[in-house]
Structure 1
Amino acid sequence: MSGKVFGVALGPGDPELITVKALNCLKKSEKIYYPATQSSKGNQDSFSLVILKQLGVEENKFVPITVPMSKDRSAAEKAYADLFLKVQKDVGEGKQVVVVSEGDISFFSTFSYLLEDFRKNSVDFEMIPGVPAFILGGSAGKLALATQNDKLLIAPDIEDEEELKSLLEQNQTVVLMKLSMVRDWIKVFIQNSDLKFFYGEYLGTQKQFTCTDMESLKDRKIPYFAILIFYGNK
């Protein structure tokens, strides 16, 4: 059997939301690389590993891809370069290997950083899609994210309130991801705007919390794994 690498999406957190194809691929693979973050104190954390451990896959296949938590992207770029070399070696040896990401494999995914090197070096790969967090957010909030000619925008990083106001004027639905980056001002913005919103954190996990009112949100510390959906802006 010739070697191949699969980018496999794990979904947003609920192990039942992984696709049948993705789960079958994990079970058939010989090695599974998963992203993990490392704090300045050396502590390692991985949302992907939490999902993997609930899927009944052999844990001796798991290999962490450790990326230090830092705004300096050089450490992350080195980690991705090292991962590519490991995967290239595995594929050259005829192995079927997987690189996983939570959510969807083409949406803010570790795998996306490997695509150019795979193509340049003729590494055979396949991408298996999954459910991103904002899609689960729509279901958890019992929302229609878009109908007919509605415009839906996904924004991972907003500079300030003025930028957000502009985006809301141009789109019926705006999804904010990586919400912890705007936690300093977003609650005041919501309170002053009187817009309909859905807030969700750790969606699909036992730590899931959701709300649609400011009273429930005002005293919460917004984590990295949180989204905010503004909807009905017509």
Structure 2
Amino acid sequence: MSGKVFGVALGPGDPELITVKALNCLKKAEKIYYPATQTSKGNQDSFSLVILKQLDVEECKFVPITVPMSKDRSHAEKAYADLFLKVQQDVKEGKQVAVVSEGDISFFSTFAYLLDDFKANSIDFDMIPGVPAFILGGSAGRLPLVTQNDKLLVAPDLENKEELKSLLEQNQTVVLMKISKVRDWIKDFIAESKLQFFYGEYLGTEKQFTCTDMDNLKDRKIPYFAIIIFYGNK
């Protein structure tokens, strides 16, 4: 059998939200590469591994892709280059391998950084989609993300209140992800704007927390795995 690579989406955290196709692929794969973060203290942290361990998949297949926590993107780029070489060798040996990512495989995914190399080297691959966190957020918030002709924007790492205000004037719904840069001012913006919003962190996991009012959010420390959905120009 010829080797092949599968980009497999794990969903937002709830193991029941992985697709049947994705789970079947992981069961058949001979290796499963998953993203992990190396902290400054040398510890390894992986949201993907937490999901994988809840699935009916052999743990002996799991191989970490370790990326140090750093603003210097060269560290991440080296990790992706090393991963490509490992996957390329697996394919040459005829292996069926999976590279997983939480959420959807084409949405802020590690797999995206491998696509150009796969195409340039004629490596056969498929991508299996999944549920991203903001889609789960729409359901958890019990409100539609969009209806009829509404516009929805997903925005990471905004710089300031003015940028967010401008986006909300142009779109009916704005989803904030990777919100580490907005932690210092986002609560003030919510209080000032008085817009309807949904806040969710660690969605789909046992640590899930959600709220739709400032009283429950104002004293809360916002983690990396959090999203905010604003329902603006409706």
Normalising TM by the smaller chain, what interval? over 0.9
> Match of 2:191, as an amino acid?
Q
Give me the whole-angstrom Cα distance separating, in 1, the residues matched to 2:139 and 2:106. Answer: 21
1:214 aligns with 2:214: yes
Equivalent residue number for residue 163 of structure 1: 163
- What is the CA–CA distance in structure 2 between the aligned matches of 1:57 and 1:182, rounded to whole Å? 37
User: Given residue 41 of structure 2, which amino acid in structure 1 is its aligned partner?
Assistant: K
Counterpart of 2:163 in 1: which secondary structure? helix
8 Å Cα contact 2:68-2:75 kept in structure 1: yes
Cα deviation for residue 138 of structure 1 reads: 0.2
State, as a whole percentage, how many aligned pairs show the same letter: 86
Could you give the per-residue CA deviations for residues 147-201 of structure 1, whole angstroms, max 9, x where no partner exists?
Answer: 1000000001101110000000000000000122210100001001100000000
Partner letter of residue 2 of structure 2? S
Q: What letter corresponds to residue 53 of structure 1 in structure 2?
A: K
* 2:132 is equivalent to residue 132 of structure 1: yes
Q: Please list the CA deviations of residues 47-96 of structure 1 after superposition, one character each: whole Å capped at 9, or x if unmatched.
A: 00000000010000000000000110000000000000000000010000
Structure 1: which 5+ runs fail to align?
none
Give distance in 2, aligned partners of 1:224 and 1:35: 15
Task: Write the letter of the residue equivalent to 1:76.
Answer: A
8 A Cα contact 1:180 1:226, kept in partner: no
2:2 and 2:95 in contact (8 A); partners too: yes
Contact 2:157 2:180 in 1 (8 A): no
- Cα distance in 2 for residues equivalent to 1:172 and 1:196: 11
Distance in 2 (alpha carbons) for counterparts of 1:22 and 1:231: 32
Aligned residue runs from structure 1 range 1-234, under 5 A:
1-234=1-234
> Deviation string for 1:105-155 (max 9, x for gaps)?
000000000000000000100000000000000000011000100000000
Residue 232 of structure 1, CA deviation: 4.5
Q: 2:206, 2:168 → 1: CA distance?
A: 31
> Structure 1-normalised TM-score?
0.99
Residue type of the alignment partner of 1:17: L
Report the TM-score, using the length of structure 2 for normalisation.
0.99
Q: CA RMSD in A?
A: 0.6
Task: Letter of the 1:229 partner, please give it.
Answer: I
Shift of 1:233: 2.2
Does the residue aligned with 1:164 lie in a helix, a strand or coil?
helix
Specify the SS of the correspondent of 1:48: helix
SS of 1:8's partner is strand
Give, in whole Å, the separation in 2 of the partners of 1:119 and 1:229: 35
SS in 2 for 1:2: coil
- Alignment check: 8 A CA contact 1:195 1:233 kept: no
Contact 2:159-2:181 at 8 Å conserved across structures: no
**Conserved in 2, the CA contact under 8 Å of 1:178 and 1:224?**
yes
Q: Does the CA-based 8 Å contact 1:2-1:95 persist in structure 2?
A: yes
C-alpha distance in structure 2 between counterparts of 1:232 and 1:83, whole Å: 41
AA partner of residue 192 (structure 2): N
2:206 partner SS: coil
Q: Distance in 2 between matches of 1:99 and 1:156?
A: 23
Contact 2:199 2:226 in 1 (8 A): yes
